[in-house]
Amino acid sequence: MAVRAVRGAVQLERDEPEHMHEQVSKLLTAILERNDLDPDDLISVWFTATPDLHSDFPAVAARKLGITDVPLICAQELDIEGAMPRVVRILAHVETPLPKSDVAHVYLGAAASLRKDIAQ
């Protein structure tokens, strides 16, 4: 079993806790499903949010999904002029038999334009 990193991102329409929880849950669920992972396969998850998001911690969505025994951390993205607004990113470390080339990185909606090279 190898340790792999899985990336993902989603752009929120607005900075409201319920909307954030819904969109981050959708992203995290898609990452798990597209990589045939269970929550037990998660080692740790980093969430970042652009500086214009401050209604809640993105990790709350994972806790609401029942992911309670995995270390989670939230951080703020750099405030770069011209960067896409209202984006939550995920970097999940997982145990999986997948080779690096088969890991599915998930970029939902407009966030797909952030990493056209790896978005699936």
Query: Among candidates 101, 107, 94, 17, which has minimal Cα distance to 53?
Result: 17
pLDDT for 78 equals 96
Contact 56, 21 (CB under 8 A): yes
pLDDT for 1 equals 86
The contacts of residue 111 (CB under 8 Å, 6+ apart) are 9, 10, 11, 84, 87, 119
pLDDT of 120 > 60? The answer is: no
* 51-92 pLDDT tens trace: 999 999 999 999 999 999 999 999 999 999 999 999 999 999
| 119 confidence band (pLDDT: 50, 70, 90) | low
Contact 119, 27 (CB under 8 A): no
Query: Which percentage of the chain shows pLDDT scores above 90?
Result: 90
